[in-house]
Every structure is written in C-alpha cells, then in structure tokens.
Structure 1
Amino acid sequence: MPLILGMSVLLACQFIGELVARGLTLPIPGPVIGMVVLLVGLLVFGKVPKSLRLAGEGLLRYLTLLFVPAGVGLMVHFSLIGNDLWPIAVTLVVSTAVTLVVTLWALDRMNRRRGNGR
C-alpha cells in the first residue's frame, strides 16, 4: 500500500505540473513544474514520507533503462549527428565548463559563509 500511495503522489505532482504548463501555455515541460511542486511540498512537510521514499527508490533502481531509448536514438540518427558534430561537441564542452565553474563558485561561497574559507 505505501508504494501505491508514493506513486500516486508522484503522478499527482506531474499532473498538476501538466495542468499548470498547459493552462498557462508555459514553455516549461509539465513534469519539470511537477518536480517543483513536489519540492515545495517536501519543503513545507519538512521530510520525505516513507511511501514517497519507497516509490522514489524503486524508480531510481531502474533509472539506467531510461538511457536505452537515447542510445537507440543516437544509433538511428548517427548521420544527422555527424552533420552537426562540431556544434554539438563545442556545446558539450562549453556547457560542462560553465557547469564546473558555477559549481565551484557556489561551493566556494558556501564554504566562506560557513567560515571554512581560506
């Protein structure tokens, strides 16, 4: 029963996100808005309920299966990717570098705030 309750909460948040995204014609996917709704709900509640933890851990156990369709898409559309290989490669390198810099900046700032800075 706890698993059903946890999955129901996850699906309800996704449904709310879809309603908001379509109702307000936002360019943000409904599941992303649903995750924000879930985050706000968890912050208000103060902890993760056992049923939600059980459902989330069950989904995470099979997360690697979600990469299969992406791998198949890479193989099927390899010629299209080959045509735009340089823009894709540059985008990947630049976005990774920006992510690393922002992460380091945020970590440094949090360390300084806690008094652990040099």
Structure 2
Amino acid sequence: MRYLRQFSIILFISLIGEIIHLFISLPIPASIYGLLLMLIGLKTKLIPLNAVEDASMFLIEIMPVMFIPAAVGLLDSWGVLGSMLVPFIVITLVSTILVMVITGRVTQFFIRVDKKGKDDDHE
C-alpha cells in the first residue's frame, strides 16, 4: 500500500507537469516541469522525502531496464545508422565525456559549498 501511495504522488506531480506544459508554450518537455515541481516540493518540505523515497529508489534501481527499448530501436534502425556509424560513435563519446566532466565539476562545487557551510556553522 505504501508503494501505491508513493507512486501516486509521483504520478500526480508528473500529471501537473503535463498540464503546465499544455499552458506554457516553451520547448521544454513536460517531464522537466514535473521534476522541477518535485524538487520544489521536496526542498520546501511540501512533499516529505519519506512520502516518495521508497518508490523513487525502486525506479532508480530499474532504470537500466528502461533503456532496453531504446537499444532495440537502435538495432532495428541499423540499416539507416550503418552509414553514419563513425560520426555517431564520435558524437556519443564526446557528449558522454562532456557530461561526465560537467557533472563532476558541478558535484565538486556543491560538495565544497556544503563543506564550507558546515565549517561556518561550527565556528
């Protein structure tokens, strides 16, 4: 029952994101609106973490399974992609490395900010 309630909260937030997407004509996916609403709800404590924690951990655990249809779609499109294989691999490698570097830098920045905040609290 707990998972059903937690999934319902996540789906409701996603639905609100879809509704916002209908009214705001920006080229932003509805899922981004839902993620921002969830972030705001969690940061302002309108949505307690324990209200969605177990279901969200489950979704994170099964996330690799969600990529299987995309991989099958790529294999199904091999005839079209075969001629573009080298540019496809180069773009994939460059973008992956770029995302890893930016993610690492942002994470290091937030760790430093958090560490500095804790040091200031102890003084």
Q: Which residue of 1 aligns with 2:49?
A: 48
Distance in 1 of aligned mates of 2:111 and 2:71? 39
Residue 8 of structure 1: aligned partner? 8
Deviation (angstroms), 1:44: 0.6
* 5+ long unaligned stretches in structure 1: none
| Matched residues, number | 114
Task: Supply the distance in 2 between the matched residues of 1:105 and 1:55 (Cα, whole angstroms).
Answer: 29
Whole-angstrom CA distance in 2 between matches of 1:66 and 1:112: 33
Q: Which residue number corresponds to residue 80 of structure 2?
A: 80
Cα distance in 2, alignment partners of residues 70 and 105 from structure 1:
29
SS in 1 for 2:27: coil
* 1:16 aligned partner, one-letter code: I
How far did 1:71 drift? Answer: 2.0
Which one-letter code corresponds to 1:60 in the other structure?
I
Segment of structure 1 superposing worse, 19-28 or 105-114: 105-114
Alignment TM-score, normalising by the size of structure 1? 0.77
The amino acid that maps onto 1:55 is A
| Structure 1 vs Structure 2 CA RMSD | 2.4
Q: Who is 1:69 aligned against?
A: 69
Mapped partners of 2:27, 2:62: distance in 1: 29
- In structure 2, list runs of 5 or more residues that go unmatched: 117-123
Per-residue deviation, 1:39:
0.9
Which one has more relative contact order, counting CA pairs under 8 Å at least 6 apart?
A: 1
User: Following the alignment from structure 1 to structure 2, what is the Cα–Cα distance between the partners of residues 54 and 101?
Assistant: 30
Please give the per-residue CA displacement for 1:56-89, whole angstroms capped at 9, x wherever unaligned: 1232343232122112112110111212223222
